[in-house]
Structure 1
């Protein structure tokens, strides 16, 4: 099982301090965690893609890790013919793209995309980040080749210090993000993303079982971050920034959609500091996760791929991210990243007793993940719940992981999914 960490393509590491293997090691698997280039070092690209810097270095690093695993994992007791890749947030988007890319053909056999997929609009990048960096360093050469030579002369410490600013990282879904992937259409070398991602799904280079999912209160992360940094509550100050970039809307259509969002998700159509945090988190699931999942599932079903869905609703002291702020800790369910506390021994993991709810809960989550790695489905024959593939975009069947129990269910966050189904049925989509 190969884990790809999240962090917005900007921060993070696969180190054992962050992702301790102890929980997953209770099952008979071999765990590999990898690092890859981050920030502008991972997302460096030029509009002239013929000069050897077409973009997506971060994703190509992940391919190199998978190639190494094919060549060496047998020496560690692993099976190169049964490689499961799983990742969270941009790690979820990454493993989904690794399933699709021709560069990783034959390297993966199972895919688990956690709280992120290839078609989430925050996974759209900006081509030409190299020119932006050249401006920062006041490089005035005109040709791409000359700019690259100048950049290569900059000491690494100076390069990283000057451009790796946290201020560059955003959570918006309405505009491309510098660190996210780009389409490589003009490169002279193998391309990781040779065409719009949505077109790659129908001809996925690895037609393997896929499990998608998120946490039931995933966007509570916005509250945690805002309160930790500013002490104030998070609200959507500008709803216009929450409309996904893949929707092609006229001015009037945009205004109508904004009005519909307010009427559907917010009491009296108002959003201010008195707005219920639960309503804000519920709405956020749509633009940040559900919209990408809807498009992905539709394309995978059309291609007859095996797709499963999960929701993690666990709420114990293992939910490390949600418990970083006492206000958000009072809301039920699991925030963004909280599932990681059930798969890995994190720095925030509490001490707990044998047969405690925490132990039973992590063992249940680990069982679902390792079942999928073994069998290509989340349930074994001994489990009380069933593995049910999605067959209808209008009826999302899923498994709900609630602490130490797993139940089968239909239609997660029905209001959210129904709303965005209707939006994408009635409005034109722009490929990404």
Structure 2
């Protein structure tokens, strides 16, 4: 075979014994209880955690690197997760577990295949007579190709002040999490990463009481790809009954980048496999070192422009029955039919999502020309041939709407950001909400995050000197990270942190983000899209970004097949 050698890594290996031995060597298992640290019993065994201090200087408990499934390696690579095995002795749960093998935004290549861990943070361990607390399960973003539940990035110190239990989940990324094959007998229909999330939620249902959490009051929340994952979980029959509210931040299934197409043929070409049968291809992919597999993944050109349907991420599974499928229907059809888990829903976005994607503003002078292919912003949903007359006409409409009579130069780069934000993020969220309104019986709350202060991490990294909040800038006010320095009491940052913690946890507790007897933030209706602008002040309004959304509605009306999007 050209370029690789197929081999069976797990022949004649007692994997269970090997796992236990390696855990002991790494110090993950302890055989002595001589410690003052907290110990909790879960289905699989004993966990020794540690403590931390929240934003108000109160103690909380944390348990890290808790396995919720078997390591997805060897013959389990690419397949649906299996339940975690028991361990012996006391497992050390004081350090973060491995991320899925990936290229981290900050650190380069990190992680391993053995990554199906979750972190739990709780204000108190359960005692007799103490009421169980609401649970918030966090699903990280990263385009389904990077990211993790790392406590250094997603510290619970802000949210946990509001007396909730927080769970942060790792899941498989990239090819490891989203390879899909057509042969049903191979049991790789796709969405293994999403099925990891379902497995984690099942583990939470069975074990969260041990940490003082209420399994009957679980809120799932996530950002970017994590927001899309949250939205997909509401649509998936697999996840039914595992949660009770949902918060999708800067991600929705009707965004152009959220649902993907199979890439196995592309991968076969990259790896120069001489096989045509999917069973032979799968065998070699399962035996290939993860480093080689990742190198192949990075050769797949996965673009976020609306013109392209991405390769790596959630896909509609091509299997004959819904049994065993995370999702096997078009998400829009599921929403329109009302055949999904109807729970209170919060959705929103930042005021300038596209700051995250661009980094040119600091390198250009005002009169420098912006070389923009506007046809890249014609949504692939329209199914138009690139370069066709209609595709070019729509591209020209997009250019005229955002730039008008203005030259396409760096002086007007803010219009470029607005075009990117609307087409890649905002429109899909608005469309998702409007379609849910036709079938949902539960309240839907819309927000726009526009805070512009020192915790806007990604805007700062991109060195963009324009007003507004970038994609992912909301994370700095929900989670404490290593990038957060001292925060002055009563500063803008302090007020936003406390305000968002209150809104998010109120929603988790009762399905309504407003304080008791306060109706500042109204749910959306079919006639009016009520929303809350989360800026340096919190201000309620109606129909955010209306002109831009009306424009995109007109674009989608050009094709009868997409008029309902």
- TM-score, normalised to structure 2's length? 0.70
Greater per-residue helix proportion: 1
Task: Determine the C-alpha separation between the residues in 1 that align with 2:330 and 2:181.
Answer: 18
Aligned to 2:529: 396
Q: Quote the Cα distance in structure 2 between the aligned partners of 1:50 and 1:12.
A: 31
Q: Deviations over 1:40-79 (max 9, x none)?
A: 1111112334421111111111111111111111111111
User: In the aligned structure 2, how far is the partner of 1:131 from the partner of 1:262?
Assistant: 35
How far apart, in 1, do the equivalents of 2:354 and 2:334 lie? Answer: 28
Residue 265, structure 1, aligned to residue 402, structure 2:
yes
Any idea what SS the aligned residue of 2:540 has?
strand
Deviation (angstroms), 1:227: 6.4
Say if 1:119 and 1:293, in contact at 8 Å, map to a contact too: yes
CA deviation map 1:351-387 (0-9, x unaligned) = 122222211111111111111111212212254x523
Is 1:314 aligned to residue 451 of structure 2?
Answer: yes
Question: Structure 2 CA distance, aligned partners of 1:179 and 1:95?
Answer: 17
Higher RCO (Cα < 8 Å, 6 or more apart)? 1
- Give 3-state SS (helix, strand or coil) of 2:248's partner: strand
Equivalents in 2 of 1:235, 1:20: separation in Å? 39
Aligned length: 422
Instruction: Determine the structure 2 residue equivalent to 1:141.
Output: 275
Residue of structure 2 aligned with 1:91, choices 213, 219, 226: 226
Match of 2:193 among 47, 58, 71: 58
**Which position in structure 1 is the counterpart of 2:419?**
283
Deviation at 1:279, TM superposition (A): 1.1
Larger radius of gyration, structure 1 or 2? 2
Q: Which whole-Å CA distance do the structure 1 matches of 2:292 and 2:319 have between them?
A: 31
In 1, distance between residues paired with 2:553 and 2:199?
A: 37
Decide whether aligned partners of structure 1 residues 382 and 278 sit closer, same or farther in structure 2, where only a CA change above 3 A counts.
farther
1:416 matched to 2:548? The reply is yes
Bigger drift between 351-360 and 186-195 goes to 186-195
Whether the 8 Å contact between 1:285 and 1:416 is mirrored in structure 2 is no
Matches within 5 A, 1:210-221: 210-221=345-356
Q: Which moved more, 1:241-250 or 1:357-366?
A: 241-250
Alignment partner for residue 170 of structure 1, among 273, 290, 303?
303
Runs of 4+ more than 4 Å apart: 230-236
Deviations 1:219-242 (A, max 9, x none): 111223x569x8899956211111
Aligned counterpart in structure 2 of residue 6 of structure 1, from 126, 141, 147? 141
Partner in structure 2 of residue 253 of structure 1: 390
Does the aligned pair in 1 maintain the 2:450–2:533 contact within 8 Å? yes
Please tell me whether the aligned partners of residues 174 and 244 of structure 1 are also in contact (alpha carbons under 8 angstroms). Answer: yes
Cα pair 1:249 1:428 within 8 Å, conserved: no
Aligned partner (choices 286, 305, 314) of residue 181 of structure 1: 314
Q: SS at the partner of 1:280?
A: helix
Q: Going by fraction, where is strand more abundant, 1 or 2?
A: 2
Any idea what SS the aligned residue of 1:193 has? coil
1:264-321 deviation digits (Å, cap 9, x = unpaired):
210426423x242221122222211233123312321110342110001111111111
8 A Cα contact 2:306 2:424, kept in partner: yes
Q: Deviations over 1:101-159 (max 9, x none)?
A: 001011111111111101111012122x2333233322212211121112222122332
Cα distance change, pair 137–261 in 1 and its aligned pair in 2 (3 A)? closer
Residues 173 and 3 of structure 1, relative CA distance in 2, 3 Å threshold: same
CA 33–158 in structure 1, closer or farther in 2 if over 3 Å, else same: same
Give the superposition deviation at 1:187: 5.4
Listed as ranges, the gaps of 5+ residues in structure 1 are none
Contact 1:5 1:14 (C-alpha < 8 Å) held by counterparts: yes
> Does structure 1 conserve the Cα–Cα contact (< 8 Å) formed by 2:342 and 2:440?
no
Which of 330, 346, 356 is residue 196 of structure 1 equivalent to? Answer: 330
Residue of structure 2 in register with 1:371 after alignment = 506
